[in-house]
């Protein structure tokens, strides 16, 4: 894997710089939604994610709107801090359109995974079906996954003291989410976290949700390889206009 801005040994994930356009807008929307929920008590109930409401009341907007809501001030501050820490460098590298698309895909994908798991005919599924989920954590975990793939050796400081490479930090957080998803009432939020990681991985490693474009790319590479000796053509990759660097 090679990125436009390679990892620099000794760099910390804290302090990536000024807010980028998409992250600035996302933070504003989250703050506005938080203030609205303080004024209107049922705001989070209407717009938060509850699988029962999605299926029974056709509240199809909830898998989108839930990611802009938060249950408290510290919940909001933590998610927005993580968004800034891990998202700024990704948006600079990818560009605002791709970053925005990835953020929405991972956030919505985390919600759809939660909705799907709520249909599992066990106690865990029943709990998810009637529980309310709010927060940007699903999308933020998707950003964390991308950060770990593009900057695997970049140190992340736990409690501002203990450095750990980003790739191991992602594995630790993913393991916590996986095991916590089956651990009682706290499993609701962790299911969204796990969903953000899974959807982010599939998006970056699985053709970026464009199977037709991926198949075309593979076919073109196959033709180049077949005619390599005859035309003295060497293997190449996609051009810079085709999106962010591929993750290997």
Distance CA 232, CA 94 (A): 33
Successive 10-residue mean pLDDT values, the chain, 248 residues: 38 68 97 95 93 95 96 91 92 95 95 92 86 92 92 79 83 72 54 88 73 58 67 49 50
CB 135 within 8 A of CB 189: yes
Q: Rounded to 5 degrees, what are φ and ψ at 158?
A: -80, 130
Number of DSSP helices (H) and strands (E) in the chain, helices first: 12, 2
Query: What's the Cα-to-Cα distance from 180 to each of 103, 121, 123, 174, 190, rounded to whole Å?
Result: 23, 19, 15, 10, 6
* Range 21-205: architecture per CATH: Up-down Bundle (1.20)
201 SS3 class: helix
This prediction has a pTM of 0.75
157, β-bridge pairs: 163
pLDDT at position 28 is: 97
DSSP letters, 116-183, are: HHTTSSSHHHHHHHH--B-SSHHHHHHHHHHHHHHSTT-EEEETTTEEEEHHHHHHHHHHHHHHHTTS
pLDDT at residue 5 in the model = 38
Residue 6 is predicted with a pLDDT of 39
pLDDT at 21: 96
Domain extent listing, the chain: 21-205, 211-242
């Amino acid at each position: 894997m090679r990125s436009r801005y390679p990892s620099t040994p000794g760099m910390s994930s804290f302090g990536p710089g000024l807010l980028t356009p998409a992250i600035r807008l996302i933070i504003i929307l989250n703050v506005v939604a938080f203030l609205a929920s303080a004024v209107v008590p049922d705001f989070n109930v209407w717009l938060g994610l509850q699988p029962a409401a999605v299926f029974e009341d056709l509240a199809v907007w909830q898998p989108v709107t839930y990611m802009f809501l938060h249950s408290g001030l510290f919940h909001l501050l933590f998610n927005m801090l993580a968004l800034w820490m891990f998202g700024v460098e990704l948006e600079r590298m990818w560009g605002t359109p791709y970053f925005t698309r990835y953020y929405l895909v991972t956030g919505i994908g985390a919600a759809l995974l939660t909705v799907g798991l709520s249909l599992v005919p066990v106690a865990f599924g029943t709990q998810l079906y009637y529980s309310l989920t709010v927060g940007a954590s699903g999308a933020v975990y998707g950003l964390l996954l991308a950060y770990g793939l593009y900057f695997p050796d970049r140190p992340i400081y736990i409690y501002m003291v203990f450095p750990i490479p980003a790739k191991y930090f992602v594995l630790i957080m993913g393991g916590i989410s996986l095991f916590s998803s089956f651990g009682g009432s706290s499993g609701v939020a962790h299911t969204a976290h796990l969903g953000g990681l899974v959807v982010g991985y599939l998006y970056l490693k699985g053709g970026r949700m464009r199977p037709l474009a991926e198949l075309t790319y593979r076919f073109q590479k196959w033709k180049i390889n077949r005619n390599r000796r005859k035309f003295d053509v060497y293997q190449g990759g996609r051009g810079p206009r085709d999106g962010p660097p591929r993750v290997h």
